[in-house]
Amino acid sequence: METRNKNYCIILAGGVGRRLWPASQKELPKQFIDFFGTGRTLLQQTFDRFARFIPTNHIYISTYESYVSLVREQLPEVPETNILPEPVQLNTAPAAIWGTWHTVLSDADANVVVSPADQLIQHADRFEAQILRGLDYVDTHADFLAIGVKPTQPNTAYGYIQMGNAI
């Protein structure tokens, strides 16, 4: 018997990338730039990573309304209804909630992973294995799971999460 895929992804692509100015500017922020000369922007690379194991119609892009045309141009394979225009640029938490709300409207049993569009992931296979492990966990537990990277140095530009027990 085939099981229904309940895994969804929300890619956050609404920020202006102030910390990378002048390369990243309000009209063309970092997520829409090919920083590494791969032929794919940060947004496209993030989409590609998740599309390996999440159906493309289960991937939502939360972005500032001024960037919708850039998302459509860079990700024509994403259904227009899966591009979620943010009416104002607030921050990560409101964008994640906005995307999650839209996701659970289409599937109340959704397992949702929220990811920024601007991560550098060097080991896609290990990343995929960890994300799938996390999605399996939330499928069988009524919990919120945060997955992060162990910091190598303090940086006041980022928040920190107290690490709990390993799953």
User: What DSSP state is assigned to residue 23?
Assistant: T
Range of the domain at 59: 7-124
The secondary structure of 120-164, three-state, reads CCCCHHHHHHHHHHHHHHHHHCCCCCCCCCCCCCCCCCCCCCCCC
The verdict on residue 166 lying in a domain is no
The verdict on residue 139 lying in a domain is no
The verdict on residue 1 lying in a domain is no
Sheet of 7-12, strand order = 83-86, 59-64, 7-12, 111-116
The verdict on residue 146 lying in a domain is no
The verdict on residue 71 lying in a domain is yes
The verdict on residue 161 lying in a domain is no
CATH code for position 67: 3.90.550.10
The predicted structure's pLDDT at residue 20:
65
The answer to whether 115 and 12 have CB atoms below 8 angstroms apart is yes
Mean pLDDT, the chain cut into blocks of 10 residues (167 residues total): 74 79 74 90 95 95 94 96 88 88 91 90 90 91 76 70 67
| Helix (H/G/I), strand (E/B), else coil: 40 | coil
- The number of distinct structural domains making up the chain is 1
Q: How far is CA 8 from CA 48, 88, 132, in A?
A: 14, 24, 11
The predicted structure's pLDDT at residue 62:
95
The verdict on residue 143 lying in a domain is no
The verdict on residue 77 lying in a domain is yes
The predicted structure's pLDDT at residue 84:
94
